[in-house]
Amino acid sequence: MNDSQYNLIADDLLLAVEEAIEDCGVDIDYEGVGGLLTLTFVNGTKIIINKQAPLHEIWVATKFNGHHFEYQNQQWNDKRGGDEFWQFLSAAVSVQADTKITLAAE
C-alpha cells in the first residue's frame, strides 16, 4: 500500500468511527483533528485513535492499554492480539461507557 492509499483508507476509518459514535445512542463526545480522533466519555475517560502514517497503522489508546492496527485483507487488525478493529473498538467503548455498545462501519 502506498501513502495515498493508506491516507484514504485511514481517513475513511476515522470518519466511519465518528459516524458510528454519533449513531450509537450513547452520550460520547468526539473531536477529530488532523488524523487524531478523541472520544470522551461521561466519566471523563478517553479513547484516542490516531493515524501513524509513516508505519501505515492506526493506533488506539484506551484507559487500559494501547493497540496498533494494520490493514490486511480489507480490514484493520490488531498487530498484538489479532482482533478486528470494529470488534475491539466496540468492546473498548462498552467498557469505558459502562454500557453495551456495538459499533460498525455503515
22-70, pLDDT tens digit by residue? 999 999 999 999 999 999 999 999 999 999 999 999 999 999 899 999 9
Q: What is the pLDDT of residue 106?
A: 78
Global pTM? 0.92
Q: Has residue 76 got a pLDDT over 90? A: yes
Distance CA 40, CA 72 (A): 28
What is the pLDDT, as a whole number, of residue 47? 98
Please report which residue ranges of the chain form alpha helices under DSSP H. Answer: 3-23, 85-97
pLDDT higher than 90, residue 105? no
Q: How many angstroms separate the CA atoms of 44 and 58, rounded?
A: 23
Domains and CATH numbers, the chain: 3-97 (3.30.920.10)
Over the chain, what is the mean pLDDT? 95
